Structure 1
Amino acid sequence: MCGRFALTATADQTAAFLGVGELEEFPARYNIAPTQPILMAVSAPSRPPGSNLPDREALLVRWGLIPGWVKDMRGFPLLFNARSEEAAAKPSFRTAMRHRRALVPASGFYEWRQSGPAKGQAYWIRPRHGGLVAFAGLMETWSEPGGSEMDTGALLTTAANPAIAHIHHRMPVVIEEKDFARWLDCRTQEPRDVAELLKPAEPDFFEAIPVSSLVNKVANTAPEVQKRVEVSALQETKQKASSEKTPGDTQMSLF
């Protein structure tokens, strides 16, 4: 499950990380939520021999994938996550899995440890050694009946690794830099060829930092949403026990 994340790197840092051309400057974003625009990198169209243009391009998409066969998006669920174990077979995602795989740059993501039926302690989950990560994404261009088009996308999730599982049982799929080209290659790499990339990050890759409930509200977009708060050992124990009793989430829920 991943319904909030952040991208606080500069445009130059992000472009260099993704291997795309120059990006226009954009502000640090500390609380990105579904339906908002997110940055995705995809394979560029075929380049002529000798071209110096990068073989990847970046674009802004609406976070919330709309399959091409949807006629009216108003009655369609908000598909901001796709379960990686099922995406290649699901009607909503299988075309994008085959033809439009993407990378989503991020500085980290947020997750909530459930406390019974209510939303519990929030955590800012970031790479332990800093820097950017690339989440596995899917992109789909949706055409409205009137003819206008909108690029949309979703993040792929997988089972959480042992370091994250006590907070939530799902986490976004992280694509390692060495696998960027392979993941994006939809011409020669079919979904089954990249299936082993859809795995949890190593247990020591992320660190989870408890933060305040400020992040719960989409309107709160300042750096304070990532400020560490103290959580007592007793509270941690109670929340962990409660989360272990909470049924699994549904893919289309937003916390």
Structure 2
Amino acid sequence: MCGRFFLQRDPAGLARYFETVNPTPNRAASWNVAPTQESLVVRRHPDRGARHLDPLRWGLVPRWAKDTKDAARLMNARADGLADKPSFRDAFAKRRCLVPMDGFYEWRKDEEGGRQAYAVALATGEPMAVAGLWEGWKSPDGEWLRTFTVITTEANEKQALVHHRMPAILPPETWDAWLGAEPATPEELLELLLPCPAEELAIWPVDNRVGRVAENDARLLQRDPMATPPPGLDDPPPDLGG
């Protein structure tokens, strides 16, 4: 699963990286994005075909939902259920997006039942382009709410040391197909949702205070000096740019 991520990068830099054309939205850096909070997503404009960078709320609200109470529960969508589950199948067919992240957090359980938080980023320091779905929901009073969910897949061998699932990170050559700019069958789209190669990830222990939504500062990405991670989970934090 993916229950927290960080996006501290300048939105203008994200706009250049993803080649979006709409006016760049203002957004403050966040080192602890949580479900029901807003973050930026990349969508393809259905008429002009260009990429847009837009703020949407994390936690999918299907168009047919009566209210928004289950949004946090739909923060993630398993790749193996996208085409069949009522909550996701329409968005999978028509409203796919990319979710920019500088990285995400996951918690590892030890043999004594304790939990240690880990940060996961690309070793290159580049933004992650995570596969996502988005929806537009109209409230009873006529207001529109646009939301997104993060697609998860099986973990690679390195991420599996922390958790058995991970976000589906898409390489640049797949973005057009995922966003609908290139033709692709549902089966071809599902084949894109594979775990990224283990060597592309940097994983290191961080302070468990990341589990509290109110905690949100750059120190969350610092290595936890009190942690004793197993081999393979103590990479140096990469330079994430600005």
TM over 0.5: yes
Letter in 1 for 2:69: R
Distance in 1 (alpha carbons) for counterparts of 2:70 and 2:164: 28
Distance in 1 (alpha carbons) for counterparts of 2:193 and 2:182: 19
2:145 maps to which of 147, 150, 157: 150
Distance in 1 (alpha carbons) for counterparts of 2:126 and 2:188: 28
Letter in 2 for 1:95: D
Alignment deviations for residues 40-91 of structure 1 (CA, whole Å, 9 cap, x no partner): 11111323xxxxxx71112211100011111122366620000001111111
1:66 partnered with 2:61: yes
2:73 maps to which of 54, 71, 78: 78
Per the alignment, residue 218 of structure 1 pairs with 213
Per the alignment, residue 177 of structure 1 pairs with 172
Per the alignment, residue 13 of structure 1 pairs with 13
Per the alignment, residue 125 of structure 1 pairs with 120
Within a 5 Å distance, the mapping from 1:1-255 to structure 2 comes to: 1-21=1-21, 22-47=23-48, 55-74=50-69, 78-115=73-110, 120-185=115-180, 188-230=183-225, 233=228, 236=230
Distance in 2 (alpha carbons) for counterparts of 1:149 and 1:41: 18
Alignment deviations for residues 103-159 of structure 1 (CA, whole Å, 9 cap, x no partner): 011101000002469660000101111121100000011111222110011000000
Q: Which runs of 5+ in 2 are unaligned?
A: 232-242
Q: Normalising by structure 1, what TM-score?
A: 0.84
* 1:34 positional shift: 0.3
* 1:205 positional shift: 0.9
Runs of 4+ in 1 over 4 A off after TM superposition: 116-119
Q: Normalising by structure 2, what TM-score?
A: 0.88
Identity of aligned residues (%): 36
Distance in 1 (alpha carbons) for counterparts of 2:50 and 2:119: 33
Distance in 2 (alpha carbons) for counterparts of 1:44 and 1:130: 28
Distance in 2 (alpha carbons) for counterparts of 1:184 and 1:69: 23
* 1:36 positional shift: 0.1
Q: Check conservation: 1:161, 1:200, Cα contact below 8 A.
A: yes
Q: Check conservation: 1:87, 1:93, Cα contact below 8 A.
A: yes
Look at both structures and tell me which one has the larger radius of gyration over its CA atoms: 1
Letter in 1 for 2:85: K
SS of the residue 1:147 aligns to: coil
* 1:193 positional shift: 2.5
Residues 77 and 112 (structure 1), Cα distance of their counterparts in 2 relative to 1, 3 Å cut: closer
